Amino acid sequence: MNGMSCKFEAEVIGALRTGNWSTSLLDHKEHCPDCREAILVAEAMQQDAAWIQAKAEPPSVSQVWALSQRRRREAAMERATRWVRILKVAGWLYASIFVVWGLHLLPRLASDSFLTALNPKALDESVAAAVLAAVFIGSGLWYALRGDQRQTG
């Protein structure tokens, strides 16, 4: 950056900014090439500043605050619903495995050879585990699907 070569340059720029021109400064600006160049640069910068001020108006504080609160709520909702989505996928996976297991086991239950191979205690535990799994999976899926319908409705 070049230093000021004219001792009146700062006064000329100040007069340009305020609009208060003395007769000596008006006479000086006509005869000094450095001051004329400084005036051209200062006017261009003032035009740019006026354009930026007119076009680039920042949003109000309430708009910024509302936007930040909405983003905070959306992030919290995303964190909360991530686990629900994982549990829904796991529920569907468990339910499909349970159905496949039941369909695979159904022909064996109809034959006498399978029932005689299991002792009564093992058979009771298998049936109890299957019933508990069906109840837990069914209730979890019912609650999750019911929640989806309630939100969209």
Q: Residue 128 falls within a domain, yes or no?
A: yes
Q: What DSSP designation does 118 have?
A: S
36-52 confidence digits (pLDDT tens):
888 888 888 888 888 88
- Asked if residue 126 is part of any domain, the answer here is yes
pLDDT tens digits, residue range 81-125? Answer: 887 788 788 878 877 877 787 777 666 666 655 555 566 666 677
Look at the chain and report how many structural domains it folds into: 2
Which of 90-94, 130-134, 141-145 shows the lowest mean pLDDT across its residues? 141-145
Type of residue at 9: E
Residue 14 domain flag: yes
What pTM value is reported for the model? Answer: 0.36
49 and 113 in a common domain: no
- Enter the tokens of residue 95: 């339910």
Q: Which residues of 30-49 are buried (b: 16+ CB within 10 A; e: fewer)?
A: eebeebeebbeebeeeeeee
| Integer-rounded Cα radius of gyration of the chain | 41
Predicted pLDDT of residue 74: 94
> Within a 10 A sphere around the Cβ of 13, how many other Cβ atoms?
18
Per-residue pLDDT, 147: 61
Q: Does residue 45 form part of some domain?
A: yes
Indicate the residue type of 41. V
In this predicted structure, the answer to whether residue 153 has a pLDDT above a threshold of 50 is no
Kindly give the interhelix angle for 33-55 and 23-31, rounded to the nearest 10 degrees.
Answer: 110
Answer whether residue 67 is part of any domain: no
Which candidate, 106, 73, 78, 92, places its Cα nearest to that of 142?
Answer: 92
Same domain for 91 and 33: no
pLDDT digits (tens, 9 = 90+) for 6-30: 787 888 888 888 888 888 888 888 8
**Dihedrals phi, psi of 56, to nearest 5 degrees:** -105, 70
Domain that holds residue 38: 9-55
